[in-house]
Amino acid sequence: MKKIGFIGLGNMGSAILNGILSKQTFPPEQIAVSRKHPELAEKYAENGVRIYTGNRELAAEADLIILAVKPNILESVLSEIRDVLDKQLILSIAAGWTPTRLSAALPAGVSYISAMPNVPAAVGSGCTIINEDGRYTDAQMIQAEQIFGAIGTTHRVSGRIFDVCGTLTGCGPAFVFEFMEALCDAAVLEGVPKPLAQSLAAEMIGGAARMVESSGKHPCVLKDAVCSPGGTTIEGVRALHEHGFHVGVMDAIIRAYEKGKKL
What residue segments make up the domains of the chain, in order of their start?
A: 4-157, 165-262
pLDDT per position as a tens digit, 51-77: 999 999 999 999 999 999 999 999 999
DSSP result, 111-178: EEEEEE--GGGGGT-EEEEEES-SB--HHHHHHHHHHHHTTEEEEEE-HHHHHHHHHHHHHHHHHHHH
Helix (H) or strand (E) holding 223: helix 219-226
Q: Model-level pTM?
A: 0.94
Residue type, 146: Q
Please classify residue 75 by burial: count the beta carbons closer than 10 Å to its beta carbon, then call 0-12 exposed, 13-18 middle and 19+ buried: middle
Query: Are 253 and 167 spatial neighbours (Cβ–Cβ below 8 Å)?
Result: yes
CATH of region 4-157, choose from 3.30.930.10, 3.40.50.720, 3.20.20.70, 3.50.50.60: 3.40.50.720
CA–CA–CA angle 139, 142, 145 (5° rounding): 155
Q: Which regions in the chain score pLDDT beneath 70? A: 1
Could you tell me whether strands 152-157 and 126-131 are parallel, antiparallel, or unpaired per DSSP bridges?
Answer: parallel
What local confidence, expressed as pLDDT, does residue 42 receive?
87
Task: Round to whole Å and give the CA distance between 13 and 53.
Answer: 16
pLDDT per position as a tens digit, 121-151: 999 999 999 999 999 999 999 999 999 999 9
Arch. (CATH architecture) of 165-262:
Orthogonal Bundle (1.10)
What local confidence, expressed as pLDDT, does residue 1 receive?
58
